[in-house]
Amino acid sequence: MDKEETDLTAESEDKETVAGTAEINWEEVSKDELLDELKKLQAENAQIDELKKNLADKTEEANKNFDLYKRALADVENIRKRSANEKQEVLKFGNFNIVSDLLVILDDFDRALTSGKQENTAKEVIIEGVEMIQKQFEDLLFKKYGVEKYGESGEEFNPERHQAVMMEVGDYKEETVVEVFRSGYALHERVIRPAQVKVGKPE
């Protein structure tokens, strides 16, 4: 017998041995063993069913969470758009109230001019009317809108609030405002327009 025939014979014997081992002699298997095997299969099937149920629950939960995410994303986008629109409205109509207040003063100027053009109107009456309008305008700025008017002789020079247009050297302890050419204005401590002043400097 050559080598090839020997290998084939050995392979055939191995297959027969495996086949013989795989065969189950059901006559030798007891009823209790069958019941145990059945219980094992039932337990495995129960576990599989539980896993399937858990998977279905998690899938449903994931879908719900994804829907919530999409809704939240849409809400954020709507808020962003609404905020942008409101910002545009503020920029467009932010001066609405102050313009409305200024129109009242403009009406008073119109009446004063009409009255001043009449020949029988005394100069003192015109001046008094203009002074009343000036006070009305100052009350509007200073009391209602919080504008501050500043710039007086004798106060300390502050380059953040004053604009020095002239200087003189003299007997001063520190840089001091000695003359105001134009008042300064600030809104809530933010300078709108610096005061133009003459500054006295120490020698």
Write out the chain's pLDDT in tens, 203 residues.
554 555 555 555 555 544 444 455 656 667 777 788 888 888 899 899 999 999 999 999 999 999 999 999 999 999 999 999 988 888 888 888 889 999 999 999 898 888 888 877 788 888 888 999 999 999 999 999 999 999 999 999 999 999 999 999 999 999 999 999 999 999 999 999 999 999 999 98
Please tell me the distance from the alpha carbon of residue 104 to that of residue 101, in angstroms, as a whole number: 6
Instruction: Give the number of other Cβ atoms within 10 Å of residue 102's Cβ.
Output: 13
Please identify which residue in the block is written with the tokens 């065969």: 23
pLDDT of residue 190: 95
| DSSP bridge pairs for 164 | 197
Residues 6+ apart with CB under 8 A from 160: 191, 194
Please tell me the distance from the alpha carbon of residue 111 to that of residue 106, in angstroms, as a whole number: 9
**Burial of 100 by CB count in 10 Å (0-12 exposed, 13-18 middle, 19+ buried)?**
exposed
pLDDT of residue 9: 53
Task: Give the tokens for residue 95.
Answer: 């001066």
Please tell me the distance from the alpha carbon of residue 100 to that of residue 93, in angstroms, as a whole number: 11
pLDDT of residue 35: 81
Instruction: Give the number of other Cβ atoms within 10 Å of residue 116's Cβ.
Output: 14
pLDDT of residue 202: 93
Residues 6+ apart with CB under 8 A from 166: 179, 197, 198, 199
Q: Of the candidates 163, 136, 167, which has an alpha carbon nearest to the alpha carbon of residue 151?
A: 163
